[in-house]
């Protein structure tokens, strides 16, 4: 069973006796990885889902913990990561390790396996030259201890059918096509729109497996709704300018009035006219009573198009958690909307290379990030710097909660202004 296993040194967090951290083989260990994953997430694959499942994990990036017990050796924990490129303020894409599949079999939880895997993940990601790591958290209490902070938020909206939208004259020139999703046929159009978005936090789906997995229609996920549909907005030349992945679920009220729901899983538009055409269609589908959208950016165009914001249901959720792995590289890669000259005292117990005093000096044309002996202006932990990194959480908001300390009066607001960004960060899909 354990032939050709590459064990990984778990220092500085040794595992209890009988546990070994090791690289996992994408093919040979796949069944064991899926078994741990299903135990950890209390989920089982429905027989009808088997034909559509897609293996998205990338070779050489999965690590697990084997347990040698009285009844043999079995996999007790897994995690993996994607080799993403993450857009930062200004549009540059930095190498980002997209942590995924973190799972410990419930029979082995709270023995330090998760901690050992996270330490290995941070070390291996840094060795690969990845500048940040990102993840979607299953629970809020898990990842801050490893230096992750909430860097992007997503907004879920619930709207009544026919909600009013402001006119955008050019929308009349666009066509909205409605089709049943076929991943092979539609992924090119979808990714053409998705890949053209300019927004911090944006992660493109760079492998064919991720593109396909994003569009496949799990029969068990329908829960009484129809198959996944696609709305594509095209200009006069046939070029896609926007799209939405959605399903409708029919329902009839007590008075026999149509009260169906449109569930919009993913909606993007590249310009105001495309946004108007797309939402005009989704908000006016026959027999529907309401429209629910789940993954909007906090500044999505829909919020500016609606003529009435009262009465809509609006919830804000944490989206992507970000961990800075290489502080000078990360701070140099992003753009700053104005001049900046600040000394940060950064604490990072897990990545000592990030810790200490850093001077960030420069402006919209670029900054220098250098270690310094100068007195610090602001003190910040690495998780909170990660939260502020994409410009979606202000340093002033963190300071108001006692998470950033202004050591020199008058330095917080200029630094917060420089670390802000006019476009809300968003990722728009889960991984």
Which residues in this chain contact ligand COA in the complex, by CB under 6 A?
A: 40-41, 102-104, 109-115, 137-139, 141-142, 145
Whether the ω angle into residue 34 lies within 30 degrees of 0, i.e. cis, is: no
Q: What is the DSSP string of 128-171?
A: TT-SEEEE--SSTTSSGGGT-EE--EEEEEEEETT--B---GGG
Contact of 327 with 301, CB cutoff 8 Å: no
Closest to ligand COA by CB, 104 vs 264, is: 104
- Token output for 241: 């300018």
CA 14: distance to chain centroid? 30
CA distance 61 to 70: 29
Phi, then psi, of 69 in degrees rounded to 5: -115, -175
Contact of 237 with 267, CB cutoff 8 Å: no
- Token output for 163: 């909600």
CA distance 311 to 37: 40
Nearest distance from residue 108's CB to ligand COA, in Å? 7
The yes-or-no answer on residue 431 being catalytic is yes
Choice among 82, 146, 246, 431 that is catalytic: 431
For ligand COA, the nearest residue by Cβ is 114
What are the C-alpha distances in Å from 195 to residues 85, 205, 324, 428? 12, 8, 24, 12
Characterize the bridge pairing of strands 366-371 and 229-234: unpaired
Choice among 84, 143, 146, 419 that is catalytic: 143
Closest to ligand COA by CB, 111 vs 234, is: 111
Nearest distance from residue 223's CB to ligand COA, in Å? 22
Closest to ligand COA by CB, 162 vs 349, is: 349
Closest to ligand COA by CB, 65 vs 387, is: 65
Closest to ligand COA by CB, 113 vs 342, is: 113
Nearest distance from residue 137's CB to ligand COA, in Å? 5
Nearest distance from residue 349's CB to ligand COA, in Å? 12
Dihedral sign for Cα 349, 352, 357, 360, please.
Answer: negative
- DSSP assigned state of 203: B
Closest to ligand COA by CB, 32 vs 268, is: 32
Closest to ligand COA by CB, 146 vs 243, is: 146
CA distance 25 to 29: 5
Q: How many CB atoms lie within 10 A of CB 251?
A: 15
Dihedral sign for Cα 329, 333, 336, 340, please.
Answer: positive
CA distance 149 to 20: 29
Question: What positions carry a catalytic annotation?
Answer: 143, 431
């Amino acid at each position: 069973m354990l032939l050709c296993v590459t064990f990984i040194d778990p220092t500085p967090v040794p595992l209890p006796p009988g546990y070994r951290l090791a690289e996992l083989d994408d093919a040979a260990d796949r069944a064991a990885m899926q078994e741990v994953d299903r135990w950890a997430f209390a989920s089982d694959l429905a027989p009808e889902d088997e034909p559509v499942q897609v293996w998205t994990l990338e070779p050489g990036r999965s690590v697990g913990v084997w347990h040698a017990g009285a009844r043999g050796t079995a996999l007790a924990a897994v995690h993996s990561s994607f080799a993403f490129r993450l857009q930062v303020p200004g549009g540059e894409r930095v190498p980002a390790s997209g942590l995924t599949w973190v799972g410990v079999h419930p029979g082995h939880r709270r023995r330090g396996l998760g901690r050992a895997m996270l330490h290995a993940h941070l070390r291996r990601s840094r060795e690969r030259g990845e500048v940040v790591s990102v993840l979607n958290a299953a629970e809020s209490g898990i990842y801050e201890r490893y230096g992750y902070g909430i860097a992007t938020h997503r907004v879920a909206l619930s709207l009544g059918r026919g909600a009013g939208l402001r006119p955008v004259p050019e929308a009349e020139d666009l066509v909205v096509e409605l089709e049943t999703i076929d991943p092979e046929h539609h992924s090119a159009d979808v990714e053409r729109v998705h890949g053209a978005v300019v927004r911090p936090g944006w992660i493109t789906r760079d492998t064919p497996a991720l593109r396909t997995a994003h569009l496949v229609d799990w029969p068990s996920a329908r829960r009484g709704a129809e198959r996944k549909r696609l709305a594509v907005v095209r200009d006069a030349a046939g070029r896609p300018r926007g799209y939405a992945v959605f399903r409708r679920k029919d329902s009839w009220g007590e008075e026999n009035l149509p009260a169906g729901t449109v569930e919009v899983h993913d909606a993007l538009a590249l310009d105001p006219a495309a946004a108007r055409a797309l939402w005009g269609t989704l908000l006016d589908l026959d027999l529907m009573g309401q429209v629910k959208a789940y993954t909007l950016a906090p500044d999505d165009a829909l919020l500016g198009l609606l003529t009435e914001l009262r009465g809509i249901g609006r919830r804000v959720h944490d989206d992507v958690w970000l961990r800075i792995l290489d502080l000078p590289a990360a701070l140099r890669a992003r753009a700053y909307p104005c001049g900046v000259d600040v000394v940060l005292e950064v604490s990072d117990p897990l990545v000592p290379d990030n810790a200490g005093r850093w001077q960030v000096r420069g402006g919209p044309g670029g900054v220098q990030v250098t270690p310094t002996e100068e007195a610090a202006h602001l003190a910040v932990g690495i998780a909170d710097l990660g939260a502020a990194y994409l410009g979606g959480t202000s340093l002033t908001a963190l300071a108001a909660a006692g998470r950033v300390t202004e050591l020199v009066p008058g330095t917080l607001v200029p630094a917060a202004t420089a670390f802000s960004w006019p476009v809300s960060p968003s990722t728009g899909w889960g991984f």
